[in-house]
Every structure is written in C-alpha cells, then in structure tokens.
C-alpha cells in the first residue's frame, strides 16, 4: 500500500512532464484535434474548387498555345 501511495504521488507530481516527454495526447488535445479536422475538411471544399478552376484555365492555355504554334508553322 505504501508503494502505491508513493507511485500515485510521483505520477501526480510529474504527470505534466511525462505527458510532454512521451508526447501523450490529453483530452484538450483531442478536442482541438477534432476542431482542426473540421477546419481542414472545410478548406478541402475550397481547394477542390480551386483545382477545378485551375484545371480549366490550364486547358484553355494549352489550347491557346497549340493554336499559336499552328499559326507560326
């Protein structure tokens, strides 16, 4: 019983150092992780739109370059 009390006290005193050293997650980290995940999901919508628009613009530019090359020949 005495050893259990010692270990409990030691862990209580050192818990923040153990969490940091071992890079453990806390409840706050998990809450923050969930919020960050949702922000990333929201940003993906904009990135997909950007990708579509960029793809369209690149296709248009490639078409213009091809037409210019044909005129130069």
Task: Measure the CA–CA gap between 17 and 23, rounded to whole angstroms.
Answer: 10
Q: How far is CA 62 from CA 23, 36, 67, 71, in A?
A: 49, 38, 9, 14
Task: Measure the CA–CA gap between 53 and 7, rounded to whole angstroms.
Answer: 60
User: Which tokens is 46 given?
Assistant: 């904009």
**Are residues 18 and 11 in contact, defined by beta-carbon separation less than 8 angstroms?**
yes
Tens of pLDDT, residue by residue, the chain (73 residues): 688 888 899 988 999 899 889 988 888 888 888 888 999 999 999 999 999 999 999 999 999 999 999 888 7
pTM across the whole model: 0.47
22-34 per-position pLDDT tens digit: 988 888 888 888 8
């Amino acid at each position: 019983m005495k050893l259990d009390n010692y270990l409990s006290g030691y862990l209580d005193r050192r818990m923040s150092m153990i969490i940091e050293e071992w890079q453990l997650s806390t409840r706050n980290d998990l809450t923050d992780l969930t919020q960050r995940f949702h922000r990333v999901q929201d940003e993906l919508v904009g990135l997909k739109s950007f990708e579509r628009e960029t793809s369209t613009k690149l296709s248009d530019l490639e078409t213009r370059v091809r037409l210019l090359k044909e005129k130069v020949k």
